[in-house]
Structure 1
Amino acid sequence: MFLPLHDGVPLQHMKTPVVARSIIIACTLFYAVYILDPRGPDEMVGGFSLIPSVLFGLESLPEGYPYVPVWMTLFTNIFVHGSWFHLIGNMLFLWVFGDNVEDAMGHLRFLLFFLLCGAIASLAHALTSFYVGGAAPIGDVTLLPPNRPLIGASGAVSGIVAAYLILYPRVRIWALFLNGLPLRLPAYWTIGFWFALQFISAFLGSDDSVGWFAHLGGFLIGAILTPIMRRRYDPVLARVQAQELQAPR
């Protein structure tokens, strides 16, 4: 287990991470609908989740599903979460890491970055699900293996984690490890530990209900996009920021 708690990195270019907070609100509202809809959670899953076989045209859902064009489920699944733990875990990562990544990119580029990481992570899951997936019901329909629905912001958040690692590798982060052990370690250690867990879980199949390859795909595309989408690099400013971040707190 790894849960980030606090990093203490001040914002340099903006006062409020508007996009990161808006995404947290949007995901929370989606979850409220998910649990309060009298028709049951299957409605949200069938309407907005990514289902690989449906995406690739191998199967179809009952009439009326999904609620958006099939290709858009690459994006809409990001905002749907299946439990409070699922929601809070993803939003905690977004809260701790997202503000500084948004600060480094700007509002619009950060929003685009988040959506691209989420969509490509979803596509990575779809492509690999034919090898690692399992059966799952949607309403009255049981989808054949390997077409388990994908929901959650984990892939997009993984891209943000990769961006944070590139931008702030030596920043010390307070986090809970394993059985809740609090430690304050550099980002390259904490995120490196997190990535190792994702990689091992993806290839050893510790829990096939989790989209591990979405996490890996999001992390990879996040690492690729960060140098392209960050603000113009200023070596003088970078040195000043590095000194501030490494100062004792």
Structure 2
Amino acid sequence: TYRVSLLVESTGADGIDDLYVELQDADLDVQESSESFDLGDFDDSDNEEKVSFDLTLPRDIAEGSYSLEAILSDKNGKILDSELITVEVSSCTEEDAAGDLSVEVSEDYTVSGNDLTLSVLISNTGSEDKTIAVAVEDVSWAEFAGTEYLSLLQAGDEAHAYVYLTLDESTQGEHDLQITVTDDAGNEITEVVTVDFGEDAVTDEGWGISDWFANKSPGAFWIILDIILVILAVVFLKMLFSKK
């Protein structure tokens, strides 16, 4: 299983309604379309929209390079922009990918003012003690404030790690956060959690977490693509841009 996330950003002087993104490739058995969305002009606060697709590789797919095409269109089917993504598929077993580590990001969280705390359950299912490290990717919507966890996880034990973030006051909508746990044997697990702040900026409490893109001519858009790997003992992805 893997996730493709796209940030669609307006660079034009006028807003436009009823946009949608299609993602397609026959070899990867992908034919997906997003829900429609609106964008304001490049200077508006609503000038970008994040679109995510959760995809599954065909079971019989061979190792190699494959291309996904992301197409941005308006309500009349006019193509406004497109991007190619190169997906590198290589096989690995769950044991190869994760070793004796198990990681689960909780859907429950704590908010105090602009401070967000996420809980991560880390399990050592092996017969030897492990020294672990927890890392968090840099994000634009919050400032990383630190982590708290036991670096030594004994055989057969599990423990909670805590990730602390300070939210930007203008943060709203859905945002992905990538959390990576590694051990002293080089095993690594990456989990991605999607944090949903709704339509309001983060001045209110009660946000939730779901399951886990100079002057321009009117109607000009561009797409920034980001592939986030969701570990399920499957693949490694590499993204390349090929502007049409």
TM-score over 0.5 (shorter chain): no
Q: Which has the larger radius of gyration?
A: 2
TM-score, scaled to structure 1: 0.20
TM-score, scaled to structure 2: 0.21
* Structure 1 or 2: more strand by fraction: 2
